[in-house]
Amino acid sequence: MDAVDAVVIGAGVVGLAIGRALALRGLETVVLERASAIGTGTSSRNSEVIHAGIYYATDSLKARLCVAGRLQLYAYLDAHGVAHRRCGKLLVATSAAQQARLAQIQAQAARNGVRDLRLLDADEVHAMEPALNTVAALHSPSTGIVDSHGLMLALQGDLEAAGGALALLAPVQRIVCGDASHVVQVGGDEPMALGARLVVNAAGLWAPDLALQIDGLAPRHVPVARYAKGNYFSLAGRAPFSHLIYPVPEQAGLGTHLTLDLAGQARFGPDVQWIEPASPDAIDYRVDPQRAAAFEADIRRYWPGLPAGALQPAYSGVRPKLQAPGEAAHDFVLQGPAEHGVPGLMNLYGIESPGLTASLALADEVVSRLTA
């Protein structure tokens, strides 16, 4: 049996960031990925937005790691030449009730350390984005967009340059925990067993199922896996906006927002569609064209000029949720030895948005807890 210092399971943006952080600390690290390429799950099925850290509960991991991670991420993207743009975001209110909510959101952002938001009246918003219908808006200048695949390739490059390795088509079937080392049993065409002192379950949608295959971890520590599908539609033609446009947040999501890719193409979403697949492998990622009608109604609240029939099904993503439908959003869960009592084991649950923005800070947090 081969032995390494650390095994990370899952080569999404967070798993790659953790693998990189471990390798940069001089630990012989292997990142295992069940798919044939990096970042094929949640990491590649999102809005590719760099979030400011506005909405999250005070002192939560999401708030703290998003704000710290955003600063780290912009510096990292600049240093590694990864395509991105700090385009800014407008959080728009289309009614008096929503306008009152903006002040609450601004106060929450300030408690999280985000103090660059500016409240705009209708005339100021119209000067920035003439096509918007709004009574007021919050401007977030530090929100941006990123080439998420370019980011993951850069993280992989750092991992390998520091002596780490990535193994694709390497599904983990079982983990047997020991007092000083763990055995990770890997399937696929070339089954193997890896001994490792540190094991990180960063398997995203698969994390709870994988945790149930850990011999030595009590099942009571494994949360129920829940899944929220988010559908996206793209816009035929060019959008008359230069900023990201977000409505006031709704339950379980941030509303039907407009984001831009680095080429300036607009897309709308995600909506929130709770699903109950038998397993993550059974998820149907197809976008139902019939959902376009609801998208159009939501979008026209802030962009009444949306042309009829301009929305086209684009793609969907699924967020690993810890809350049930109707419950308040849960925080990230980093479950390590202090929580479950197994030395050298860390399980990550509910790593949804702002996981991409927080990825570097998340990695530092995980490594700090495991190596303290």
On the question of pLDDT at 253 being above 90, the answer is no
DSSP for 98-149?
HHHHHHHHHHHHHHTT----EEEEHHHHHHH-TT---SEEEEETT-EEE-HH
More confident residue, 255 or 169: 169
Half-sphere exposure of 40 (CA within 13 A, CB side): 12
pLDDT bin (cut points 50, 70, 90) of residue 254 is low
Q: Cα–Cα distance between 256 and 258 in angstroms, integer?
A: 7
| pLDDT tens digits, 50-77 | 999 999 999 999 999 999 999 999 999 9
On the question of pLDDT at 252 being above 80, the answer is no
Compute the average pLDDT of residues 88-115: 95
| Whole-Å CA distances, 230 to 46, 73, 224, 269, 310 | 8, 24, 19, 7, 19
Q: Cα–Cα distance between 140 and 106 in angstroms, integer?
A: 10
Question: Which two tokens mark 208?
Answer: 């709870």
Residue 126 is predicted with a pLDDT of: 96
Query: Nearest CA to 171 among 188, 189, 183?
Result: 188
| pLDDT tens digits, 213-236 | 999 999 999 999 999 999 999 999
Find tokens 């948005």 and name the residue. Answer: 353
| pLDDT tens digits, 103-121 | 999 999 999 999 999 999 9
Total residues found in the chain within this entry:
372
| pLDDT tens digits, 319-338 | 999 999 989 899 999 999 99
For the beta sheet containing 144-146, the strands, ordered from the edge strand earlier in sequence to the opposite edge, are 49-50, 144-146, 84-85
Q: Cα–Cα distance between 91 and 257 in angstroms, integer?
A: 9
Amino acid sitting at position 266:
A
Compute the average pLDDT of residues 238-265: 85
For the chain, the structural domain boundaries read: 2-47+149-224+329-371, 87-142+225-321
Residue 1 is predicted with a pLDDT of: 77
| pLDDT tens digits, 159-205 | 999 999 999 999 999 999 998 899 999 999 889 999 999 999 999 99
Compute the average pLDDT of residues 38-45: 96
Alpha-carbon 225 to chain mean position: 16
Residue 179 is predicted with a pLDDT of: 87
Residue 372 is predicted with a pLDDT of: 80
Please say whether the beta carbons of 52 and 140 come within 8 A. yes
Question: Which two tokens mark 338?
Answer: 């202090």
Pick the CATH number of 87-142+225-321 from 3.90.220.20, 2.40.160.10, 3.30.9.10, 3.40.50.970: 3.30.9.10
Q: Which CATH class is domain 2-47+149-224+329-371?
A: alpha beta
Angle formed at CA 225 by CA 221 and CA 231, multiple of 5 degrees = 150
Q: What is the mean pLDDT of the chain?
A: 95
Residue 97 is predicted with a pLDDT of: 87
